[in-house]
Amino acid sequence: MVWFKFVLCLIIILFAGTKAVRYGDAIAEKTGVGRIWIGLLLLAAVTSMPELVTGVSAAALVDSPDLAVGTLFGSCAINLAILALLDILHRRTPILSEASSEHMLSAGWGILLIAIAAGGIFAGQRFSGLDLGGIGLPSIIIFIVYLVALWQIFRFERSHQPSSPQASPAQYEGISARTVYLRFTLAAMAVIGAGIWLSFIGDEIAQVTGWSASFVGSLFLAISSSMPELVVAIAALRLGAIDMAIADILGSNMFNIAIVAPVDIAYRQGSVLSLASNSHLVTAATVVMMSLVVITGVRFRQKRKTFAVASWYAPVLIALYILGAYALFTWSAGL
């Protein structure tokens, strides 16, 4: 029964998240905001809503810091693995070769953010007494760095005009702005409700299977909460909006780590990072290595794919994700 509820909840998040993204794109069109920037901010925030709600719910309602942190870190790893799938689906050329170089900046900030979070876990109780209003010091630093990163990326984008601007025809002229805002709100509420339910299902899975909360959060909850990123990225790829797809994924990773701050506020037993298991360091290291692979793929552009259907970094990203998941499982199981 628990697996049926898990699948049902996943379907709800997938459907509602897709609707939220669609009407978020309509909001971008009606307000005239650039779609590449929307990919980094609005789409990233919308598609990361399950991570936000699941993380906060796991901390506040389920009282499980490992489930919350595992969901956030695991979702970052899955998001980067989605880039491998996009490269396979993009049959003509390596997808990162057609991406803007500014994505290296987003990936670099993502590495810094998860490194700070990993440092908070590694330090453990050493900085648990250093907080501001009940928020741990590492969480405060993460939030400040996230805001600085957004400002720096915004300035970089304004000073570097895109080499191939992507103009999209109006798609939502037949829908009024009021209808768009209403439907976006309803879809977001559905994602929030499913996210709260998902946190309890994850804890139930951990109890039924005997697996650790860190493994369940990093695998099952992360996969389900990353479904909106997968759907949005594939839809953007089909529209030819490669930069929007990549911006959504890398922006979601930055947003996921920034979510540590509200999760820390929701968790009243102490600093959420200081009480999280050291097994999350495995996932953090995996995310850092996968991000470096993405940066390398953007920096050294290939004209042709290394293999018949994939570039060299696609199997590398998949292999890193599988190895990271296996290492986390063996660590959590004490093997």
Report the distance separating Cα 67 and Cα 70, nearest Å. Answer: 5
Confidence bin at 164 (pLDDT 50/70/90): very low
> CB neighbours (10 Å) of residue 2?
13
Find the range with the poorest average confidence among 55-64, 214-223, 307-316: 214-223
> CB neighbours (10 Å) of residue 7?
12
| Predicted confidence (pLDDT) at residue 6 exceeds the cutoff of 50 | yes
More confident of the two residues 76 and 334: 76
pLDDT of residue 240: 77
What DSSP state is assigned to residue 96? G
For the domain spanning 2-163+171-333, the CATH number is 1.20.1420.30
Residue pair 58/264 in contact (Cβ under 8 Å)? The answer is: no
pLDDT of residue 212: 63
More confident of the two residues 18 and 206: 18
Closest CA to 121 of 257, 212, 292: 257
Confidence bin at 335 (pLDDT 50/70/90): low
Residue pair 110/252 in contact (Cβ under 8 Å)? The answer is: no
pTM comes to: 0.83
Report the distance separating Cα 307 and Cα 335, nearest Å. Answer: 35
More confident of the two residues 238 and 220: 238
Q: In Å, how far from its chain's centre is CA 199? A: 17
Residue with tokens 């050329």: 93
First to last CA, the chain: 29
pLDDT of residue 211: 65
| Predicted confidence (pLDDT) at residue 167 exceeds the cutoff of 50 | no
Find the range with the poorest average confidence among 78-82, 171-175, 184-188, 318-322: 171-175
For the chain, the structural domain boundaries read 2-163+171-333
Q: Judging by beta carbons within 10 Å of its beta carbon (0-12, 13-18, 19+), is residue 204 exposed, middle or buried?
A: middle
What rounded mean pLDDT belongs to the chain?
Answer: 83
More confident of the two residues 257 and 212: 257
- To the nearest whole percent, how much of the chain has pLDDT over 90? 32
Q: What is the pLDDT of residues 7-30, one digit of tens each?
A: 888 788 778 877 877 787 787 777
